Structure 1
Amino acid sequence: MHLIPYYGTPTDAEAPYIYRSQAKAGTTSFFAYATVYVICRNKRITLGIHAVHRQETLVANVTVLLAMLSPLRVRVKRLYLDRGFYSVPVIRWLKALNIPFLMPAVIRGKTGGTRQLLVGRTSYATTYTLTSPQYGSVNCQMRVVCTYHKGFKGKHGIQSTLYVVHRVTVALHQLHAHYKDRFGIETSYRIKNHCRIRTSSKNPVTGLLFVALAFILVNLWVYLLWCFVSRTQRGGRVVYRELFTLKTMLEFLSHAVERHFPVITAVYLPALE
Structure 2
Amino acid sequence: VIQHSLTARLDGHSWTVEFPVYIDCTYQNGRYDEHGVARHGYAADAPFIDSPRDARYHYAKRFGIEASYRLSEQSIATTSTQNPVVRLLYVVVSLLLQNVWRYLHWEYVATPRRGGR
Q: TM-score range by the shorter chain?
A: 0.5 to 0.7
The corresponding residue for 1:212 is 92
Distance 1:192 1:232, change over 3 A: same
TM-superposed CA distance for 1:179, in Å, is 1.4
Residue 52 of structure 2 aligns with which residue?
Answer: 173
| Alpha-carbon distance change, 147 to 172 in structure 1, aligned in 2, over 3 angstroms | closer
Higher helix share: 2
Query: Which amino acid in structure 2 is aligned with residue 179 of structure 1?
Result: H
Q: Deviations over 1:184-220 (max 9, x none)?
A: 1121111122321110112222222111221111111
What is the CA deviation profile of residues 228-271 of structure 1, one whole-angstrom value per residue up to 9, with x for unaligned ones?
1124454223xxxxxxxxxxxxxxxxxxxxxxxxxxxxxxxxxx
Identity of aligned residues (%): 33
Local SS of the residue matching 2:47: strand
Once residues 114 and 43 of structure 2 are traced to their aligned partners in structure 1, the CA distance between those partners, rounded to angstroms, is 37
The structure-2 alpha-carbon separation of the partners of 1:160 and 1:186, relative to structure 1 and needing over 3 Å to count, comes to closer
Gap change, CA 1:178 and 1:210, over 3 Å in 2: same
Which stretches in structure 2 are left out of the alignment for 5+ residues? 1-14, 24-40
RMSD: 2.7
Moved beyond 4 Å, runs of 4+ = none
CA contact (8 A) 2:76 2:90 kept: yes
User: Could you tell me how far 1:163 is from its partner in structure 2?
Assistant: 0.8
Q: Which structure exhibits the higher relative contact order, with contacts defined as CA atoms closer than 8 Å and separated by 6 or more residues?
A: 2
Unmatched 5+ stretches in structure 1 = 1-109, 120-144, 149-157, 238-273
Q: 1:192 aligns with which of 36, 58, 72?
A: 72
- Who is 1:160 aligned against? 43
Deviation at 1:176, TM superposition (A): 2.0
